[in-house]
Amino acid sequence: MSPMQTGIVGLAVLFFLLALRMPVGIAMLLVGFLGFGMMSGWTPALALVATEPFVISSNYELIVVPLFVLMGNLATVSGMSRDLYAAAYAWVGHWRGGLASATIAACAGFAALSGSSVASALTMGQVALPEMRRYNYDPRLATGCVAAGGTLGILIPPSTGFVIYAILTQESIGRLFLAGVFARLLLTALFIFAIYSQTRIKPGLGPAGPAMVWKEKLKATWQASFMTGVVVITIGGIYAGLFTPTEAAGVGAFLALLLALFRRRLTPHSLFSILLQSARTTALVFLILIGSFIFSPFLALTHVSSNLIEAITGLELPAYGILSLVLIVYIILGMFLEGFAMLVLTIPIVHPLILTLGFDPIWFGVLIVVVLEMGLISPPVGVNVYVVKGVAEDVPMSQIFIGILPFWVAMAVALAILVAFPQIALFLPNRMIQ
């Protein structure tokens, strides 16, 4: 077989293994090793498998993954997620749809600590869904806003999506974190507007809750200030240039540990559970990266990427036309593939194309992460939808998917705005990091 045919067969086998529910990291490692061995010899293939896991595991920049995951888990145990939700509810809970808007705001805040969409959806679902049920919110709006709000975790620094994209493309993690700030604010505002629009048309979807006096508002805000302080110090320190993302992860994890100890929420049992969960999440991310870095050399030998670039550029479409096709393909893939799997499978192919077309890779990274967010609530995979279903077991899956539809449309609008106005994403990185 020609190298191109070998590459196509390898990709077909990879997707077949994924359809059999084999973990993506193991599937990529297996196909990459066998394909590389068939094309270059088994001795180089064994050398590749022997060295790449060590290279990835010893990468200093990847320390941000376990440390930010640990910070998020400590924040959950210390009760900061509940404090943030209570503060948001104190200010907007008396509006129609106010509880849903408070959930979106709380998800945005908690995601700034966890960096995980699944963790944000699960944690805020446990906090917010019982409250919205108590105030007679329509289950579609309640579950939809939790599933959609949870997706902000992959866009808001310390986003693991940005970290993996940066490692795969050799781009700056700090610049990607900065690029996500205004994109996050835009998407949060569109989510809240989606809630406002629905409750204005059908007020019964989200009845207004009781108004709180100023004393209660200030008290709730003060309790949430501890979490706000951790976010300002860690993420704000990156923006201000006080420390690198890796150093910020260490500072954030340490502050979250101190806060959990101060609140007396940390027991030997909970500490063991936190460390175990953090290790599991980190191992999953590293396994995916190791598989990707073993699969990529095989893909390079087959010339699939270069041939695809030549074929696309040969269509004689304008650059933005090709970009639109790429984003549409990503949206379709997001309906069937898990986000990180899609990222590590496609970026080695798509990133050279984006550079060839002259687009900014930092801006494209933001677009990709927004598309990954859309995949998190797109049927039939929709990981966040299944997470919310686990919390709201009495709500039919069909109702949850109906509830997320307005938020999916809001994501599509945000994607179109970011494509039309790249400076929304590039303003901060270009101003603060030269």
Residue 100 backbone zone (phi > 0: left; psi -120 to 50: alpha; other: beta):
alpha
Tell whether the model's pLDDT for residue 46 goes beyond 70.
yes
Please tell me the predicted confidence (pLDDT) of residue 140: 93
Tell whether the model's pLDDT for residue 413 goes beyond 80.
yes
Per-residue pLDDT reduced to its tens digit, 152-196: 877 766 677 888 888 888 888 888 988 988 998 899 999 999 999
Please tell me the predicted confidence (pLDDT) of residue 253: 85
- Alpha-carbon gap, residue 419 to 403, rounded angstroms: 26
- Alpha-carbon gap, residue 279 to 365, rounded angstroms: 26
Domain ranges within the chain, ordered by starting residue: 62-432
Please tell me the predicted confidence (pLDDT) of residue 114: 64
Please tell me the predicted confidence (pLDDT) of residue 33: 93
How many beta carbons lie within 10 A of that of residue 126, not counting itself? 15
| Contact (CB, 8 A) for 154 and 342 | no
Per-residue pLDDT reduced to its tens digit, 331-341: 887 776 667 77
How distant is the alpha carbon of residue 393 from its chain centre?
Answer: 24
How many beta carbons lie within 10 A of that of residue 94, not counting itself? 14
**Least confident stretch, 40-44, 122-126, 273-277, 370-374:** 122-126
Place 76 in a pLDDT band, splitting at 50, 70 and 90. Answer: confident
228, exposed or middle or buried, with CB in 10 Å at 0-12, 13-18, 19+?
Answer: middle
The residues, ordered by sequence, that sit 6+ positions from 210 with a Cβ below 8 Å of its Cβ are 93, 94
Of the chain, the percentage scoring pLDDT greater than 90 comes to: 19
Please tell me the predicted confidence (pLDDT) of residue 191: 94
C-alpha gyration radius of the chain: 22
Tell whether the model's pLDDT for residue 75 goes beyond 70.
yes
- Is this structure's pTM higher than 0.85? no
- Alpha-carbon gap, residue 65 to 253, rounded angstroms: 11
User: Which tokens hold the place of 53?
Assistant: 């896991």
| Maximum CA extent, the chain | 75
| Contact (CB, 8 A) for 40 and 294 | no
Top mean pLDDT of 110-119, 270-279, 378-387 is at 270-279
Tell whether the model's pLDDT for residue 434 goes beyond 60.
no
DSSP per-residue string spanning 21-78: T--HHHHHHHHHHHHHHHHH-HHHHHHHHHHHHHHHHT-GGGGHHHHHHHHHHHHHHT
The residues, ordered by sequence, that sit 6+ positions from 371 with a Cβ below 8 Å of its Cβ are 327, 330, 331, 334, 415
**Least confident stretch, 24-28, 40-44, 197-201:** 24-28
Residue 211 backbone zone (phi > 0: left; psi -120 to 50: alpha; other: beta):
beta
Tell whether the model's pLDDT for residue 270 goes beyond 60.
yes
How distant is the alpha carbon of residue 334 from its chain centre?
Answer: 13
